[in-house]
Structure 1
Amino acid sequence: MMKSFPGTGSWHRLLRDSHLPLVHALVIGLSLMMTLGAYVYASAQTDTRIENAFKAARDQAAGLISARMEKYEDALWAGVSAVQSHGGDMTYRQWKDFARALRVDQRYPGINGIGIIHHVGPGQYNAYLRTRRSERPEFSVYPAHDNSVRLPISFIEPEDMNAAAVGLDVAHESHRRKAALASSTTGEARITAPIVLVQDESSTPGFLFYAPFYSGSDTAGRHEREQSFDGLVYAPFVVRKLMAGLLSKELRNVRFSISDQGQLIYNEHDPEDPQHDPAPKFTETVELEVYGRTWTIDFRTTLGFRQAHSYSQPTLILIGGLVIEALVISLLFMMARSSQRARAYAARVTTDLQEKSVKLEKANEELEQFVYITSHDLKTPVRSIGTLTEMIQEDLEDYFRSADADPEVAANLARISERVDRMNELTQGVMEYARTGKHSSEDKPLCLGRMAETLRSDFGLAGSQLELHGNVAQIAADTFNFARVVENLVGNAVKYHPSPDTAKITVRVEDAGLRYDVSVRDNGAGIAPEYHRKIFEVFQTLRCPGQPESTGIGLAIVKKSVERHGFEVTLHSDTGKGADFRFSWPKAGAGAPAAPQAQAA
């Protein structure tokens, strides 16, 4: 059973099942249109080229016919000039010498000969016969007729092949007579309608070509020409020989036939011709005005023309374009299928990641809760150690005032108190880090001016030491953590400043569309570039001897708070050039809901 070609519904299902994007379908459509357009354009160009080749062959043949007839006309007028140069008439011997010098058979292929026809008026016939018989005793005029006009052929060369024409009175037959009289009255060369030459044994169509000569000098008018008309220089033609001498059929890819007023005088459209094309690519009929006659020429192309102008370029373009189109379609379908599989795989991976993310988030929350509770629980023993140390210090006050008191004991107890304070700060810092991003109260708009006043008060800064700039008056998203981030950055700027009394801190908040861009800049000692990453890690500090103690958790809290909103903290600083901490903050979307450890205390 033959499989039917997919219909519109099948293609629709194929496109739907393959999830081929609309843009790919448009690409396919445009590519197919370009292929078809290239094929149509190439076909049109090929057709034009072939048609131009036919027109060139047609024009060449028609031009050769016209040019050859003009050349024969020149020969006739040369004969007229020869007659006039001999006083208006020539003898048999003089014409023979002229024709031999003209070399008709060599210079004018296709012509049967060239001769003189004399006009014999009433009362001149006997004198004419005596003159001709003095040259050739056997000369006679034929056939007899009743016309008053006599136009006998006196000479023709070469005579051996045209002997039957010598003495023929062309006035006996209408076609010959009509063209001869038309030539005499107009003074122009004329040809006859189709005739059969008496010297043509095959009796094929031919014609006579006339050019008149006159005895008088004034031949400007019709009357003067009729009065002084002496005769004609003429040439007989067999059309078949004329065309054979014109252009060999073997050299042409077009064949033609010639008709004169419906009478076929020459025909090359022979079904027996090996080059005959029963369905020619081009045919055209051309009318050619030829010395008073209208020849209708029927041009047709041959098999040779078809073979010489059979261009496969348009077909190759179409086939190549369709092959490329098929490859493109196959590639797009494979891409669509691959994309579909990739999306399915991505969906599975995304689902797995979401499940793992949920588990990881849950584990992280449990870990943070554990860290928070552990740090909280550590406060009790640390607090007890601190209390016990204070009690020991109070009990030994009298001992420390005595002369024999050991100073090492007081120093060790002071060192224990210092470490207890350090431990309290560390556990508090860990609890804050674990609690970052989570708070129990709902977000309320944070007034930045009021926040700046609070920071000045908390860190003992003058109004000129902490300045607030920018085009934002308040923050509405996750305000609790925003305040802690800014507080940590300002606190660090004060704590690690070489001279806190001269510290100058600038907080700038700018509206950046969907976010706020924040900068906290100070004029402190700065931070070397190699430490810019390290300072954001938990428990990492760049404290030098003599500087305040630090837990190394403050900047880690800053980093964690900013990153949970999808942004990052950057540091622009170098040693001795202050520090500029920059980060972005969302305009909307407050922090996560409160976690259980936020209520533990």
Structure 2
Amino acid sequence: MSGPAEGRIKGIHVIVVCLSLFLTLFAWQFSRQQIETRVGQRFEDSRDSAIRLIVDRMAKYEDALWAGVAAIESHGGDISYPDWHAFAQSLDIHEKYPGINGIGVIHFHSAETLSAYLREQRGVRPTFRIFPEHDQSIYMPITFIEPESTNAAAIGLDVAHETNRRMAALASRDTGTAQITGPITLVQDESSTPGFLFYTPFGADDAVEGAVYAPFVVHKLMEGLLATELRNVRFSIHDAGTVIYNEHTAEDELYDADPMYSDRVKVDLYGRTWTVDLRTNLAFREQNTYAQSTYILLAGLVIEALIISLLFLMAKANKRAISFADHVTRSLKKKTVELDAMNKELCTKNEALEEFAYIASHDLKTPIRGINGLTEMIEEDLEDYFASSDANPEVKQNLALIHARITRMNQLTKGIMDYAKIEVSAGVNEPLDLEKTLADLEFDLGLEKEQLQLKGDITSIDVDTVNLRRVLENLIGNAVKYHDGAQPLRVAVSAKRMGDRCMISVADNGPGIHPKFHTRIFKVFQTLRSADMPESTGIGLAIVKKSIERHGGNITLESELGHGATFSFDWPADGTQASDLPLKEAA
């Protein structure tokens, strides 16, 4: 009978589902963390690339300014307007230095040297003037700037008039290094957007005479730095709290109000500290979604649902299979009980054997065939289920148990029919060639010639040869079936004449039989088979005993454990009809 837990979802199934769910969640979380790491690294790479571009571009502009210093020094410490024009033309600044407004020269003068400077410049350019007026003790007018056409408004501008311009120029003079100004508005920039000046000093260390400079409008500088459509990050630049450049505006179609990543980086540039505020845009978000980890989670949950559904279906199918197996088992047990009862009755009432055979062939074979057919149908229906990795092995084992029981019932039925046929076939007398019979058995049982030997002075018997052949087949077959392999199989058949009868013995070198079982083994349905021995119906030796006694003979057994077994019996040899001999009752 099935237990209370059979046909239900078991604890191991719950554990498997929980473990599978845990692995799904772990895979989802691990995938998400991996994606976050990769996306974060992409942002950091984009951030570092933007910062590096700003620094590298400023360094490139610095090189151009130092090239201007070198040009001035190559002309003896000062340079004329035509020479500066030629130098600026050779730089090709708009092509090689995108974002720069121009490159020019500023001279440093005191009140004592300013008049001479003005006379010198007006001698070349009569309209040259210095502006605006201021109260500083130093003057720093812009003498040249190229291209002049776009920067004419800056010629003559005294950068000392305004704090940011003046402080950066003085810092460049005093340190001998390149410096940039704080946020300013260029006079030549009609849109008045934030800009700055970039200075490099020229002259002797103890007497700096001026600076080569470049004016920048910040938004033009950044446009020349890297086109926004090529970047997935946007940034703004703050100098001392003043926004000098800003890409974080709603006008940008890729503006992300809630960026995935952002960072603020302080960059020290030529005496100033720029704070660069970097944020990802919508293009970055689209290219770096977490859809992959979400797909993993959804796929895992779908698989979990399928597993749970499959477990319920398996439990339901298992319950039906177990119920059917229980029904079949009860039916088989009932039939077995009936067979046992009928066997007991037949032991004392031999005349009822024919009726029993009829019942066995009709009442047992028909339902057994039906059970076998139903079992095969169930196996076909569950073929795909058995092929799955989650198949419950107990279902297949129960069906295999049914098949085994059907096979045993068929064997029992056949044995009973054979037992009954002894009466029917008795008296069929035809010459039985013992040598040929043993040769046929060698072939049927797969034996070598030396494994089955015939001895004695009788080679042919013609009394009830059908039953005699059945007796020899059973005895020799048992010797082969139950041989334990401890030593090479040897079976010896001996046939000797003793008056009007012949004495026949079958001896083997098998495991032997304990003396206490020498009587029991000849009874119907009795077997000494252990779990590791071949299947047995327990009828074979009963058939042997009944056949021998039907012909007025006796069968004896000589055997001890470990010393083989010898079955000996006598059989008519003079042609007496078997039907004329008395039938001995079974012991």
**TM range, smaller chain:** 0.5 to 0.7
Distance 1:90 1:16, change over 3 A: farther
Look up the SS of the partner of 1:56 in the other structure.
helix
**Does structure 1 residue 253 correspond to structure 2 residue 242?**
no
Cα distance in structure 2, aligned partners of 1:237 and 1:184: 20
Are 1:286 and 2:275 counterparts? Answer: no
For the 8 Å contact 1:171–1:177, the answer to whether it is kept is: yes
State, as a whole percentage, how many aligned pairs show the same letter: 48
* 1:199 lines up with 2:164 in the alignment: no
Quote the Cα distance in structure 2 between the aligned partners of 1:559 and 1:137: 146
> Given the superposition, is the C-alpha separation of residues 78 and 555 from structure 1 closer, same or farther in structure 2, using an over 3 Å criterion?
same
What SS does the aligned partner of 2:249 have?
coil
- Residue 128 (structure 1) shift: 0.8
Q: Once the two structures are superposed, what CA deviation does each residue of 1:190-236 show, in whole Å capped at 9, x if it has no partner? A: 00000001111111100000001123xxx3xxxxxxx3111100000
Distance 2:109 2:477 in 1: 132
Report the counterpart of residue 549 of structure 1 in structure 2: 503
What is the one-letter code of the residue matched to 1:549? M
Is 2:60 the counterpart of 1:71?
yes
**In the alignment, which of 303, 319, 323 is matched to residue 282 of structure 2?**
303
Is residue 25 of structure 2 the alignment partner of residue 81 of structure 1?
A: no
Paired position in structure 1 for 2:248: 269
Instruction: Give the direction of change, closer, same or farther, for the CA distance of 1:209–1:549 in structure 2 (3 Å limit).
Output: same
What letter matches 2:39 in structure 1? I
RMSD over aligned CA atoms reads 3.6
**Equivalent of 2:96 in 107, 116, 122:** 107
Partner of 1:532: 476
Q: Deviations over 1:536-561 (max 9, x none)?
A: 99xxx955133663599998954766
How far the C-alpha of 1:351 sits from its partner, in A, is 1.8
Give 5+ residue unaligned stretches, structure 2: 354-418, 420-453, 457-471, 482-491, 508-516, 536-558, 565-585
Distance 2:252 2:170 in 1: 40
Partner of 1:36: 25
- Is the contact made by 2:159 and 2:166 (CA closer than 8 Å) also made in structure 1? yes
Is 1:327 the equivalent of 2:299?
A: no
**Local SS of the residue matching 2:209:** strand
C-alpha distance after superposition, 1:66-121 (max 9, x if no partner): 11101100000000101111111111111111111111122111000000111113
Alignment partner of 1:313 is 2:267: no
The residue matched to 2:497 in structure 1 has which SS?
Answer: coil
Q: 1:274 and 1:563 mapped to 2: Cα distance? A: 92
**What does residue 367 of structure 1 align with?**
346
- Cα deviation 1:295-326 (Å, max 9, x = unaligned): 11111111111112225211221121112221
* Count of matched residue pairs: 405
Helix, strand or coil for the counterpart of 1:212?
strand
**Paired amino acid for 2:311:** L
Distance 1:163 1:534, change over 3 A: closer
SS in 2 for 1:88: coil
Are residues 534 and 80 of structure 1, via their aligned partners in 2, closer, same or farther at CA, if it must alter by over 3 Å? closer
Seen in structure 2, the aligned counterparts of structure 1 residues 558 and 101 have a Cα distance that, compared at 3 Å, is same
- The CA distance in 2 between the partners of 1:62 and 1:529, in whole Å, is 99
Distance 1:62 1:551, change over 3 A: closer
Residue equivalent to 2:431: none
Q: Does the C-alpha gap of structure 1 residues 253 and 18 become closer, same or farther in structure 2, counting only changes over 3 Å?
A: farther
Partner residue of 1:349 out of 328, 334, 340: 328
Out of 201, 209, 215, the position equivalent to 2:198 is 209
Q: Distance in 1 between matches of 2:563 and 2:264?
A: 90
Q: How far 1:334 sits from its partner (Å)?
A: 0.9
2:49 is matched with 60
Please tell me whether residue 126 in structure 1 is matched to residue 115 in structure 2: yes
Deviation at 1:370, TM superposition (A): 3.4
Q: TM-score, normalised by structure 1?
A: 0.62
Which deviations, in whole Å up to 9, do the C-alpha atoms of 1:246-292 show, x marking residues without a partner?
11112212111111011001111111221111111111111111111
Matched residues in 2 for 1:569 and 1:166: separation? Answer: 117
Asked if structure 2 preserves the Cα contact closer than 8 Å seen for 1:258 and 1:295, the reply is: yes
TM-score, scaled to structure 2:
0.63
Asked if the contact 1:113/1:162 (under 8 Å) is kept, the reply is yes
The answer for the alignment partner of 1:563 in structure 2 is 528
**C-alpha distance in 2 between matches for 1:350 and 1:126:** 127
Q: 2:215 pairs with 220, 232, 236, which one?
A: 236
Aligned to 1:575: none
Counterpart residue identity of residue 281, structure 1? M
Q: CA, structure 1 residues 18+65, in 2 after alignment: closer, same or farther (shift >3 Å)?
A: farther
Seen in structure 2, the aligned counterparts of structure 1 residues 263 and 368 have a Cα distance that, compared at 3 Å, is same
Give deviations 1:366-386, integer Å, cap 9, x for gaps.
222335999xxxxxxxxxxxx
CA distance in 2, matches of 1:53, 1:556: 91
Structure 2 match to 1:452:
none
8 Å contact kept, 2:260–2:280: yes
1:549 is paired with a residue whose SS is strand
Q: 1:363 to 1:207 in 2, by over 3 A?
A: same
Provide runs of 4+ in structure 1 moved above 3 Å.
Answer: 15-18, 369-374, 528-531, 534-537, 550-562, 564-570, 579-584
Tell me which residue corresponds to 1:45.
34
